[in-house]
């Protein structure tokens, strides 16, 4: 297979791009052989702040317990919890830690049930923290201090957590971390990118490559839009890569001079046409249409 620098050729010199900080980048700077080394990790603009948790419970109807036709498994001890994670293997597991008298727990649980019915590749677990001493001990072990608290696991490892979120944020997180149910091609290495480019040289489709990081709030926020567009725009191919998944992905971000996420690269005929940096839904759609040849005015 041809090297990456041969797969992506230089766009027209006149093309210039705006980053999220309104800095102008020449399109040629996208190419690996023209990139100068940068302090990449130090320049990533991310915000992932863990808040202190406090127990808050208010009088409210009890959280609805799962019934037989729901895909939410309720566990009652640390042993059951660990066994459920082990059984899920590499599947995404979404856990809601709730309390019987928490109003917000009562509001959020039905949304998790709905997601469980549409995301068949994701496992959903409910832990009622005030059910027994065993569930209290489990919450203490998992450092849960405020409910509802949502934790995300893969291969028995916690990969993300949220508290104080609403239905839209929960849906976005599930879509972002549970990747196999979406129409977006998941890329795990530079070689995957090269293959995708080669596969679409003949059909001339625009490739929209979403580059982000696992714990990037804006990346999670915009991803549901990417999924929806992938289902509606059959003239484009949508793909995603998390730069911090492995060394190959991180090197790809460095080679592409990505210093802020999410960054969307627009590729056609083995050539990078441009990029969009940011999480604005309308702006992203406008940029995709522009690189599809549709005249867009702002």
In 3D, which of 193, 207, 189, 75 has the Cα closest to residue 142?
75
Residue 177, by phi and psi: left (phi above 0), alpha (psi -120 to 50) or beta?
alpha
Q: Is 60 exposed, middle or buried (0-12, 13-18, 19+ CB in 10 A)?
A: middle
In 3D, which of 240, 215, 60, 225 has the Cα closest to residue 152?
215
> b vs e for 156-177, b when ≥16 Cβ sit within 10 Å of the residue's Cβ?
eeeebbbbebeeeebbbbbbbb
Residue with tokens 């599947």: 91
Catalytic choice (119, 139, 216, 249): 216
* Catalytic (active site) residue 139: no
In 3D, which of 122, 22, 134 has the Cα closest to residue 79?
134
Q: Is 231 exposed, middle or buried (0-12, 13-18, 19+ CB in 10 A)?
A: exposed
Instruction: Outline where 44-186 has alpha helix (H).
Output: 78-88, 103-118, 133-141, 167-177
* Catalytic (active site) residue 216: yes
Catalytic choice (119, 139, 219, 249): 219
Residue 189, by phi and psi: left (phi above 0), alpha (psi -120 to 50) or beta?
beta
Q: What is the DSSP letter of 291?
A: H
Task: Say if CB 102 and CB 56 are below 8 A apart.
Answer: yes
Q: Which residues are catalytic?
A: 216, 219
């Amino acid at each position: 297979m041809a090297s990456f620098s041969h797969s992506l050729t230089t766009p027209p010199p006149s093309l210039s791009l705006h980053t999220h900080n309104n800095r102008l980048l020449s399109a040629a700077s996208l190419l690996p052989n023209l990139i100068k080394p940068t302090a990449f990790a130090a320049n990533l603009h991310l915000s992932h702040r863990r808040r202190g948790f406090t127990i808050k419970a208010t009088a409210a109807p009890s959280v609805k317990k799962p019934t037989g036709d729901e895909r939410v498994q309720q566990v009652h001890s640390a042993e059951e919890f660990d066994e459920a994670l082990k059984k899920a293997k590499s599947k995404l597991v979404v856990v809601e830690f709730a309390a019987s008298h928490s109003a917000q727990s009562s509001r959020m649980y039905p949304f998790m049930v709905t997601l469980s019915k549409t995301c068949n590749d994701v496992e959903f677990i409910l832990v009622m923290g005030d059910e027994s001493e065993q569930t209290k001990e489990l919450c203490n072990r998992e450092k849960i201090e405020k409910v509802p608290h949502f934790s995300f696991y893969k291969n028995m490892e916690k990969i993300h957590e949220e508290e104080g979120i609403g239905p839209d944020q929960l849906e976005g997180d599930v879509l972002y971390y549970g990747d196999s149910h979406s129409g977006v091609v998941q890329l795990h290495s530079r070689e995957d990118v090269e293959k995708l480019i080669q596969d679409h040289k003949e059909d001339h489709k625009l490739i929209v490559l979403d580059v982000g990081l696992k714990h990037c709030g804006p990346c999670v926020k915009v991803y549901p839009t990417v999924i929806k567009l992938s289902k509606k725009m059959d003239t484009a191919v949508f793909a995603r890569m998390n730069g911090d998944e492995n060394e190959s992905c991180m090197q790809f971000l460095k080679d592409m001079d990505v210093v802020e996420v999410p960054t969307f690269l627009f590729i056609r005929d083995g050539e990078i046409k441009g990029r969009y940096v940011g999480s604005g839904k309308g702006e992203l759609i406008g940029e995709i249409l522009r690189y599809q040849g549709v005249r867009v005015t702002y």
